[in-house]
Amino acid sequence: MRARNVARWASRVLRGRAPNAQRPTHNAQRASQAGAALLAAMLTVTLVATFAAAAMWQQWRAIEVETAERARIQSAWILIGALDWSRLILREDSLAQGGDGTDNLSEPWAVPLQEARLSTFLAANRNVAQVQDASTDTADAFLSGQITDQQGLLNLRNLGGDKQVDATAQRQFARLFDYLGLPRQQLDQLAQQLLLATAREGDASAAPLLPQSVAQLGWWGLPQQSIAALAPYVTLLPARTTVNLNTASAVVLWASADGLDMADAQRLVQRRETQYFRNPAEAAELVRAGSAITASTHAVASSYFEVRGRLRLDGAVVEERSLVFKQRGDVRTLWRERGGLAALGAMAQGPTMPRPTSSP
């Protein structure tokens, strides 16, 4: 009997079970099941929270994209309206009865529009009863802009003559480059690149690209420092032009006329503040003899104007620059260039290429 008990005990030891061990109770099984259920519940809550956060982020991103797109479209149409308004001002100036055909800084187009709430324009136009009645979009929109005479600047296109550099324009730009402390080699480089870009003969595929504005002169290898120095005094127009005596700065007047010193240029600027010039001969009478102010290089009217508009809407800023051509009441937009939608919040869009005049 004892031998049988010893054998039974040894069998239990070999099976890994203590001789006095007891089977798991019912309470222990329930505790184990409860722990597993709690762990599963925690995992489920974690997964649900993760999916919910991802869904909310996707929804927020979609709302932000839609808001930015709506602001871009609204800004585009508002700036188109501002451009049309500027064209109307220039057209009315050209068709004004009793006008003398001059363009000067005392005319309405020369007054810049300081930043103003867009809803004030709607109220003035009786589109809304009160400024407070405007929609939220227009209440948060601020518009500013200005019109500048591009013939009050030296036109780089004048450098390109008939297969050779124009001597008069080269002297004008040489004086300006000396005044700004820029090397003459850069002027020669610009002149040669302009001749190559506008040449009608030869391989067109080998010709350099013709910039549309001064900011793009880097295409011709001009350093950015030189472009920044030239920007207040030069322009690049589609055709050769004269310098408007009524809108050019003293530096441009001095550079544009042989034999004119800076004191004479300042005298011309002071004179036109009280009485603008009606013809180049009036200006020539005020300066020393021998100064080259002639009808071939100077004028008192302009055909090319730049329109700049700036709109702040929904925490974003959109800027647009346009070149318009005015001739006998016909005002046409030659090109438009819109700056990027610079968001002040989390999203932003970079600058865009010049876009067609027919689309916002």
What is the secondary structure of 339-360 as a DSSP string? ---EESSS--------B-TT--
Q: Report the distance separating Cα 14 and Cα 327, nearest Å.
A: 112
Same-domain pairing of 231 and 313 = no
Q: How many domains does the chain have?
A: 2
349 domain-assigned:
no
Residues 134-188 pLDDT 10s: 455 566 788 899 999 999 999 999 998 677 899 999 999 999 999 999 999 999 9
Q: What are phi and psi of 330, to 5 degrees?
A: -95, 120
Element (H, E) at 148: strand 142-149
Q: Helices (DSSP H) in the chain: which residue ranges?
A: 2-14, 26-95, 118-124, 136-139, 167-180, 184-198, 224-230, 250-256, 262-274, 280-284
290 domain-assigned:
yes
Please state whether 16 falls in left (phi above 0), alpha (psi between -120 and 50) or beta: left
Same-domain pairing of 239 and 261 = yes
51 domain-assigned:
no
Question: 242, 262, 297 — which closes off a domain?
Answer: 297
CATH number at residue 94: 3.30.1300.30
Same-domain pairing of 291 and 337 = no
Within 10 angstroms of residue 177's Cβ, the number of other Cβ atoms is: 21
Residues 5-35 pLDDT 10s: 655 655 655 555 555 555 556 666 666 667 7
Domain membership of residue 211 as a residue range: 153-297
Same-domain pairing of 82 and 140 = yes
Find, among 50, 58, 150, the residue nearest to 103 by Cα: 150
Same-domain pairing of 178 and 276 = yes
Radius of gyration of the chain (CA): 37
46 domain-assigned:
no
26 domain-assigned:
no
259 domain-assigned:
yes
358 domain-assigned:
no
29 domain-assigned:
no
The pTM (predicted TM-score) of the whole model is 0.76
